[in-house]
């Protein structure tokens, strides 16, 4: 091997520590050359090795009756009946989106779609979870939002996969580090399920899809595994550039190859490119792989071997096939106008050997690359001082109840997302039954008359106040959203967005959040089937709000009974269901008033919330209620407003006047639902659960009476306020 040996400073520049570099030298038996160092730096990065989170992730529940593929593969999968599986996963593209929001968000969608069809499922839906800085005060945050949303719409719309749901929140803590999390679902035959472990000594390793360029180099080892600083513009070249039309061809080609049984194993090329895909395939299969970089189709002829191995160019797949099938596979690739090339073979050496024509330019033990990365113990410690500044005051605490409701309904975190989701196609493929602002969860029809429901949720503000209780609330809200459309959870995916885990206060946030996810998913019988971790999301001013994002998929037996959130009919009865004990701590009202985050939140009774979710789910399935909506940000007053605006039907409501009026109207907590139905049906429901009849549907205004206080607002005024986000896009 003639590659020049890099110095320690090169290893440090690639994200390795001095101790890690010494360990690499020990595993190699000598200092690594340029190719070897590049590959180690990628596979030993936080993004690929999960070296600060792996031990925590092992505490999550991963088994359940519906689970057919759990963590460790490109995506998880659950059984949805009739021989079909639903594959799903959520991942982040946070740091790339902070540097180049359009391409960062677009390639985030492209990457998560490849994870789905890599296991043999056709993508049927995308959801997104977004976080940006103060949209009202920051031009940068508005720029990031506009371009990230445009990137998501561009990729999803172009490839023909509907974007059916999502969420977006604005907090000052995300000013330097926006969050762009993308979730995708797919459907496929169970017998076509594909794994990524390489197998069969002598089998051919073949790359197909787009050609390889210099875009994305260093993305996993540097951009996604370190804090962003003031020199972010210097990292712009490390953001990948996506082509959804190329991915459409790649997807159809992959699905046909799988249907014909021509592939032994399959892996997409995402973070760390060829390095990650080939090494992980070899590790899972307990084999070795030889690759000749000069056989890789390139878009830039002068690329060095290490550049080819670490490039993160998009729309590429790596597969293992039997030698007799090479011509057939390449013929299918030609049919779809997809480039392909046999670039290597499976060996029994347990080594990754990289060649440049006949010259060996890298040789590394697979075990050292993939399995021997040091795994670190966190040193969690609850901070003694607040981590986050109080928000600016935007609502005078002396404002009236009516003015406060208008302010909440029009606030960036609650107002209508229509200017955003109207940029997405939610109905392509003709499966979508419930889309944004129609129900708490998206609903997608299945061929047998049943349906999938899916929701994605997070609440960084509440998790920042109490990582354990706040995270419990996030998981429970996701399940509540499914209950409101009549679905039973089958499985869960998560994306853990946190700051620098080497800092004790961030380690504490992360540890508490994972503990809560484990407890909640166990109680809900909704195991984790896969996910992603995004750390080092912070800048000089400190970490982002700790933001565990939860995606949950459920099943309902009858698509025609899918629930909705809007009131349905004049004269129907409105009821409050569940063990709802609202608090203003870390609420949206407290944010508007400029109040600092509290040190802790009230305890959540998981079993009580779970019990009422089952009651609501069954009531929706049986048609006892015509609409159901869980109470979340802004409390019951905002929930009632959303029910009214979704149907253009007003309501007259009377709430318990005892206690704090503000807390009763605007307090937030898990376990509360607004349901609507005929009086006889609501009476039947009251025999099953704790329920309070609070009002009737009708008119063109929302009237809420609490003791001696009254809110009385025309729906037209509420709608004007609710659409305040539109003004930011004019």
Q: Which residues are catalytic?
A: 47, 93
C-alpha span between 700 and 648 (Å, rounded):
7
C-alpha span between 692 and 689 (Å, rounded):
10
C-alpha span between 184 and 112 (Å, rounded):
6
Expressed in angstroms, the distance from the first to the final Cα of the chain is 60
424 closest CA partner among 93, 182, 683, 258: 182
Q: Which residues of 626-638 are buried (b: 16+ CB within 10 A; e: fewer)?
A: bbbbbbbbbbbbb
C-alpha span between 125 and 156 (Å, rounded):
9
Q: Which two tokens stand for residue 219?
A: 């993305």
Give yes or no for a contact between 270 and 312, defined as CB atoms under 8 angstroms apart. Answer: yes
Phi, psi at 336, each rounded to 5°: -90, 10
208 closest CA partner among 283, 271, 267: 267
Q: Which residue has the tokens 């944004």?
A: 436
The conformation of residue 404, written as its DSSP 8-state character, comes to H
Cβ burial, residue 417 (10 Å; 0-12/13-18/19+): middle
Count CA atoms within 13 Å of residue 238 on its CB side: 23
Question: Angle between the 244-259 and 326-335 helix axes, to the nearest 10 degrees?
Answer: 140
C-alpha span between 85 and 724 (Å, rounded):
41
As separate numbers, helices (DSSP H) first and strands (DSSP E) second, the chain gives 24, 28
C-alpha span between 395 and 412 (Å, rounded):
13
């Amino acid at each position: 091997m003639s590659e020049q040996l890099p110095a320690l400073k090169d290893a440090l520049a690639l994200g390795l520590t001095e101790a890690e570099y010494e360990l690499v030298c020990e595993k190699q038996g000598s200092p690594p050359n340029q190719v070897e160092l590049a590959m180690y730096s990628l596979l030993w990065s936080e993004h690929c090795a999960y070296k600060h989170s792996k031990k925590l992730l092992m505490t999550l529940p991963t088994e359940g009756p519906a689970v057919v593929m759990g963590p460790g593969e490109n995506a998880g999968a659950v059984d949805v009946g009739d021989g079909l599986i639903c594959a799903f996963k959520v991942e982040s593209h946070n740091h790339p989106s902070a540097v180049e929001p359009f391409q960062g968000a677009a390639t985030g969608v492209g990457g998560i779609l490849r994870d789905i069809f890599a296991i043999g499922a056709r993508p049927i839906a995308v959801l997104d979870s977004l976080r940006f800085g103060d949209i009202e005060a920051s031009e940068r945050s508005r720029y990031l939002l506009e371009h990230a949303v445009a990137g998501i719409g561009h990729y999803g719309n172009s490839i023909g996969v509907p974007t059916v749901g999502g969420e977006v929140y604005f907090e000052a803590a995300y000013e330097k580090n926006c969050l762009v999390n993308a979730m995708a679902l797919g459907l496929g035959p169970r017998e076509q399920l594909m794994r990524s472990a390489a197998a069969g000594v002598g089998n051919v390793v073949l790359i197909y899809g787009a050609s390889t360029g210099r875009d994305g180099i260093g993305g996993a080892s540097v951009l996604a595994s370190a804090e962003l600083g003031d020199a972010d513009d210097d990292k712009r070249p490390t953001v990948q550039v996506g082509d959804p039309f190329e991915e459409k061809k790649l997807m159809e080609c992959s699905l046909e190859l799988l249907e014909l049984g021509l592939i032994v194993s399959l892996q997409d090329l995402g973070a760390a490119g060829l390095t990650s895909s080939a090494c992980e395939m070899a590790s899972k299969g307990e084999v070795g792989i030889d690759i000749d970089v000069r056989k890789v189709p390139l878009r830039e002829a002068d690329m060095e071997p290490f550049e080819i191995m670490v490039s993160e160019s998009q729309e590429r797949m790596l597969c293992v096939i039997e030698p007799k099938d090479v011509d057939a596979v390449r013929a299918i690739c030609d049919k779809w106008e997809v480039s392909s090339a046999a670039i290597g073979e499976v060996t029994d050496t347990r080594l990754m050997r990289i060649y440049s024509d006949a010259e060996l330019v890298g040789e590394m033990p697979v075990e050292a690359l993939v399995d021997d990365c040091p795994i670190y113990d966190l040193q969690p410690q609850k901070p003694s001082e607040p981590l986050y500044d109080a928000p600016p005051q935007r609502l005078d605490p002396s404002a009236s109840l009516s003015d406060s409701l208008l302010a909440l309904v029009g606030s960036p975190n609650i107002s209508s997302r229509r200017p955003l989701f109207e940029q997405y196609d939610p109905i392509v493929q003709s499966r979508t039954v419930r889309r944004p602002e129609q129900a708490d969860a998206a609903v997608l029809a299945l061929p047998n008359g049943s349906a999938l429901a899916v929701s994605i949720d997070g609440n960084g503000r509440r998790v920042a106040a109490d990582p354990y209780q706040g995270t419990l609330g996030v998981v429970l809200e996701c399940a509540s959203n499914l209950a409101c459309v009549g679905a039973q959870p089958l499985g869960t995916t998560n994306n853990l967005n946190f700051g620098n885990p080497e800092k004790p206060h961030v380690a504490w946030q992360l540890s508490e959040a994972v503990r809560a996810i484990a407890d909640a998913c166990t109680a809900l019988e909704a195991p984790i089937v896969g996910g992603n971790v995004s750390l080092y999301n912070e800048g000089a001013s400190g970490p982002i709000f700790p933001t565990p994002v939860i995606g949950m998929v459920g099943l309902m037996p009858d698509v025609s009974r899918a629930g909705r959130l809007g009131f349905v009919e004049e004269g129907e009865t409105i009821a409050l269901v569940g063990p709802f004990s609202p608090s203003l701590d870390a609420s949206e009202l407290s944010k508007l008033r400029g109040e600092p985050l509290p040190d802790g939140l009230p305890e959540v009774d998981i079993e009580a919330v779970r019990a009422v979710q089952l009651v609501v789910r069954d009531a929706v399935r049986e048609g006892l209620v015509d609409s159901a909506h869980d109470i979340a940000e802004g409390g019951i007053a905002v929930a009632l407003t959303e029910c009214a605006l979704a149907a253009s039907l007003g309501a007259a409501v009377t709430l318990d006047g005892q206690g704090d009026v503000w807390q009763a109207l605007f307090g937030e907590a898990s376990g509360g639902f607004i349901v609507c139905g005929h009086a006889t049906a609501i009476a039947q429901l009251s025999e099953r659960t704790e329920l309070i009849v609070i009002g009737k549907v009708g008119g063109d205004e929302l009237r809420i009476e609490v003791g001696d206080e009254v809110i009385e607002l025309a729906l037209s005024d509420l709608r004007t306020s609710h659409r305040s986000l539109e003004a930011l896009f004019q």
